[in-house]
């Protein structure tokens, strides 16, 4: 990219989250990722540069190691003409969702990250003229605690995503509760994965987006977004899944297309050979892993059929979901167990503030930082070193819980043997695909007290409102079902 000759008209708005905004180049397969800040909290150019460089280093030295070479794209920090950034900011402003405008794009530093456009197939520098479908999933995951330190009985039975849902609907972030449960997606069981993906398609929230040729065609900006329309989605997807078939429109066609999409995405999620060292993080004889959440409609339906635990095939070790799950499991203590250790580090830093650098709280995220993450011992010897290791592991685990997976699919040309990428079959076509991870920014040390408070608030809210409501209807339910102990709430 020639940073000297930048023209804002060659870039278009692509998307944004809470902390960054992304624009994509119209012809080339690159995006620029800018940081966003609240209007009152501007950072100096040096701070922005350091922040972006930390993101690159963390991706390169930590996440690439865990998740594998092919799925992590570190990008590079670029310095852009300030005039270009200002013009670009004006150009895209009208396309930004209102709910994201509480923060402004950083137009002062001139720094941004330049990354490959993951909504396109990787390996090509220029946009291909083949049609491209891209599915972005933010799977999230927090475990059902069975032997962890959580004191909340509730957390042992209901997966975090589900109890957060009640809070998000109550605060107006989303209109309705999602049936999606991360434990279904991470189960490795095809039936449960199909259920999870269909639930995401019904209620996308910020967990699912679909792009066609780089344009967002499905996804939900905020609670004001119109309800998802599967017929419209099927109309977009039909040429991909039924290219030469005269499948008529209507509900039958919609169902067939959605079924194909769900099957192909499941196959891709279960595929993978890219090496990564996340497997090395395996701990103890009985590793924690996804089971069934009591709030998941899939889990409830299993229990109605008299099955208490699902036939769980488990995720294949090479697949990206397995690797992200292993990184999420670096959080051995959950926030309740972690918080006293965070306080120990805090007390030490209050006494010796100059040590912050040596402890690598704000980087550098180098090889030494990565090596310390591999220490999975849980025996607390009362030292700051032990507390620090757990704090850093928690931050990395939280990052893996909040990342997104991008799956790009492109119909194979006639001669599929010439494909250099992996290929996934659907019933009427074949797709070359790539799978990548994005949003691998290490969660800040300062977010730990926020997580601690949020956890307490959500559990309180859930127990007071949802469980209380359930208790009120319990007598009727008790008559309906023998296994009353499993009933927690209505979703």
Ligand X SMILES: O=P(O)(O)O[C@@H]1[C@@H](OP(=O)(O)O)[C@H](OP(=O)(O)O)[C@H](O)[C@H](OP(=O)(O)O)[C@H]1OP(=O)(O)O
Ligand Y SMILES: Nc1ncnc2c1ncn2[C@@H]1O[C@H](COP(=O)(O)OP(=O)(O)OP(=O)(O)O)[C@@H](O)[C@H]1O
Binding site for ligand Y (CB under 6 A): 14-20, 22, 31, 33, 115, 117-119, 136, 209, 402, 404, 438-439, 441
Rounded to a whole number of angstroms, the minimum distance from the CB of residue 324 to ligand X is 14
Closest by Cα among 370, 289, 269 to 329: 289
85 within 8 A of 110, measured Cβ to Cβ: yes
Of residues 106 and 294, the one with the C-beta less far from ligand Y: 106
Rounded to a whole number of angstroms, the minimum distance from the CB of residue 150 to ligand X is 16
Quick check: 18 binds ligand X (CB under 6 A)?
Answer: yes
CB contact set of 445 (below 8 Å; sequence gap of 6+)? 361, 362, 391, 395
Of residues 144 and 448, the one with the C-beta less far from ligand Y: 448
* Burial group, residue 78, by CB count within 10 angstroms (0-12, 13-18, 19+): middle
Quick check: 15 binds ligand X (CB under 6 A)?
Answer: no
CB contact set of 46 (below 8 Å; sequence gap of 6+)? none
Q: Cα angle vertex 398, ends 392, 399, to 5°?
A: 90
Rounded to a whole number of angstroms, the minimum distance from the CB of residue 161 to ligand X is 8
Cα within 13 Å of Cα(283), Cβ side: 17
Rounded to a whole number of angstroms, the minimum distance from the CB of residue 136 to ligand Y is 5
Could you say which of ligand Y, ligand X, none residue 44 binds, taking C-beta under 5 to 8 angstroms by partner kind?
Answer: none
Q: Which residue in the set 6, 11, 15, 17 belongs to the binding site for ligand X (CB under 6 A)?
A: 17
Rounded to a whole number of angstroms, the minimum distance from the CB of residue 436 to ligand Y is 8
Buried b (16+ CB within 10 A) or exposed e, 318-345: bbbbbbbbbbbbbbbbbbbbbbebbebb
Could you say which of ligand Y, ligand X, none residue 171 binds, taking C-beta under 5 to 8 angstroms by partner kind?
Answer: none
Assign 451 to helix, strand or coil: helix
Quick check: 45 binds ligand X (CB under 6 A)?
Answer: no
Q: Note the helical H segments in 64-189.
A: 64-67, 82-92, 153-157, 160-170, 182-185
Closest by Cα among 420, 392, 284, 243 to 330: 392
Instruction: Specify the stretch interacting with ligand X by CB under 6 A; choose among 13-21, 246-254, 461-469, 480-488.
Output: 13-21
201 within 8 A of 126, measured Cβ to Cβ: no
Could you say which of ligand Y, ligand X, none residue 392 binds, taking C-beta under 5 to 8 angstroms by partner kind?
Answer: none
Quick check: 142 binds ligand X (CB under 6 A)?
Answer: no
Instruction: Specify the stretch interacting with ligand X by CB under 6 A; choose among 190-198, 287-295, 305-313, 443-451.
Output: 443-451
Could you say which of ligand Y, ligand X, none residue 22 binds, taking C-beta under 5 to 8 angstroms by partner kind?
Answer: ligand Y
Rounded to a whole number of angstroms, the minimum distance from the CB of residue 175 to ligand Y is 19
Quick check: 21 binds ligand X (CB under 6 A)?
Answer: no
- CA dist., res. 27 & res. 315, Å (int): 37
Residues that bind ligand X (CB under 6 A): 17-19, 206, 398, 402, 443, 447, 451, 454
């Amino acid at each position: 990219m020639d940073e000297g000759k930048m023209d804002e008209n060659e870039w278009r708005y692509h998307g944004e989250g809470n902390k960054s905004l992304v624009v994509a180049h119209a012809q080339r397969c690159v995006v620029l990722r800018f940081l966003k800040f609240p209007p009152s909290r501007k950072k100096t150019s040096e701070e922005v540069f350091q922040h972006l460089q930390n993101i690159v280093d963390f991706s390169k030295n930590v996440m690439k190691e865990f998740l594998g070479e092919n799925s992590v794209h570190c990008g590079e920090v670029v310095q852009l003409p300030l005039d270009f950034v200002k013009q670009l900011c004006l150009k895209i402003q009208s396309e930004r969702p209102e709910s994201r405008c509480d923060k402004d794009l950083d137009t002062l530093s001139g720094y941004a990250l330049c990354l490959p456009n993951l909504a396109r197939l990787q390996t090509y520098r220029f946009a291909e003229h083949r049609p491209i479908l891209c599915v972005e999933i933010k799977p999230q995951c927090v475990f059902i605690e069975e032997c962890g330190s959580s004191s909340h009985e509730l957390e042992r039975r209901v997966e975090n995503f589900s109890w957060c849902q009640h809070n998000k609907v109550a605060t107006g972030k989303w209109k309705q509760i999602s049936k999606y449960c991360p434990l279904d997606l991470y189960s490795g069981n095809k039936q449960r994965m199909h259920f999870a993906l269909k639930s995401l398609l019904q209620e996308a929230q910020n967990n699912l987006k679909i792009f066609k040729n780089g344009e967002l065609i499905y996804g939900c900006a905020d609670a004001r977004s119109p309800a998802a329309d599967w017929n419209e989605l099927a109309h977009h997807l039909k040429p991909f899944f039924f290219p030469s078939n005269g499948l008529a429109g209507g509900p039958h066609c919609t169902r067939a297309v959605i079924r194909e999409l769900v099957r192909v995405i499941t196959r891709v999620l279960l595929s993978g050979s890219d090496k990564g060292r996340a497997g090395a993080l395996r701990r103890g004889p009985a590793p924690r892993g996804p089971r069934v959440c009591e709030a998941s409609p899939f889990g409830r339906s299993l229990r109605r059929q008299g099955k208490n635990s699902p036939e769980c095939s488990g995720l294949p070790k090479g697949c990206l979901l397995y690797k992200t799950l292993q990184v999420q499991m670096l959080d051995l203590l959950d926030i309740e167990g972690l918080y006293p250790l965070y306080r120990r580090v805090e007390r030490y830093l209050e006494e010796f503030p100059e040590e912050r650098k040596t402890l690598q709280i704000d980087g550098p995220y180098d090889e030494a930082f990565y090596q310390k993450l591999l220490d999975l011992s849980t025996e607390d010897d009362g030292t700051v070193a032990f507390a620090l290791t757990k704090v850093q592991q928690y931050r990395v685990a939280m990052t893996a819980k909040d990342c997104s997976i991008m799956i790009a699919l492109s119909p194979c040309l006639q001669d599929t043997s010439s494909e250099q990428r992996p290929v996934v079959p659907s019933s009427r076509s074949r797709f070359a695909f790539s799978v990548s991870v994005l949003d691998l920014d290490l969660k800040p040390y300062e977010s730990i007290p926020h997580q601690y408070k949020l956890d307490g608030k959500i559990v309180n809210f859930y127990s007071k409102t949802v469980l209380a409501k359930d208790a009120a209807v319990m007598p009727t339910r008790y008559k309906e079902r023998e296994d009353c102990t499993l009933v927690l709430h209505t979703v």
